[in-house]
Structure 1
Amino acid sequence: MITCYLRYVIDPDKIAEFEEYAKMWLNLLPRFGGIHHGYFLPSEGESDIALSMFSFASLAEYEQYRKDAAKDPDVAEAVAFAKRTKCFLRYERSFFRPVLPEVG
């Protein structure tokens, strides 16, 4: 399993727009085989940082998602919404390998 961690620098005056963008992706990502772990918006402390995490079974599945998403009209709509509203200024993406409790 591979987990993608996204750290966004958002416009604090556009949290509602960023939340709308996040909800789009919460519905989109599972269509491509991913598991979304949610978005995390500012509550206390820094008001311009938002986080998101999602996982795929493997890096190969993540790479396939990127190819398929690039051709999807709903993804294009989400990307256009972010560009139009400028609800985030930039983001950084990191990948992690989770260590989970053993089942059994």
Structure 2
Amino acid sequence: MGATMITVHLRYEIDPDKQAEFADYGRRWIHLVNRLGGTHHGYFLPSEGDSDEAFALTFPSLASYEQYRAAAAEDAECLDALRFATETKCIRRYERRFLSPLFE
């Protein structure tokens, strides 16, 4: 049996007045995740309904996620993106879940 496919689901509670800053943060991470071996499926930003939630889906396997985390911890661009989020306070908090898809 091959490696189990997973999706890392991130739920962000964002400042609704800082959606532009969060979008900038998201664009940075899409590039970074893809550069560091992940498969980023984009960010899903508020449109209608709740104005303070955004989501991201990344990584096809737990192994690739673990490799990414190790590389990101020392990557200057990643550290700069985290610093940007801290300085702008566009993210209030986030949750990370590991999900296995079920297909027909």
TM-score norm. by structure 2 comes to 0.91
Counterpart pick for 1:82 among 70, 75, 85: 85
Q: Which residue of 2 aligns with 1:97?
A: 100
Q: Which residue of 2 aligns with 1:73?
A: 76
**Residue 99 of structure 1, CA deviation:** 2.6
Structure 1 gap ranges (5+)? none
Q: How does 1:13-92 map to 2 (within 5 A)?
A: 13-56=17-60, 58-92=61-95
Separation in 2, partners of 1:59, 1:74 = 22
| Sequence identity (%) | 56
**Residue 31 of structure 1, CA deviation:** 1.1
> For this pair of structures, how many residues does the alignment match?
100
Letter in 2 for 1:90: R
Letter in 1 for 2:56: S
Superposed CA offset, 1:59-101 (max 9, x none):
1221111011100000001000000000010000000112345
Q: Against the structure 1 CA distance between its residues 35 and 100, is the aligned structure 2 distance closer, same or farther, given a 3 Å change threshold?
A: farther
TM-score norm. by structure 1 comes to 0.91
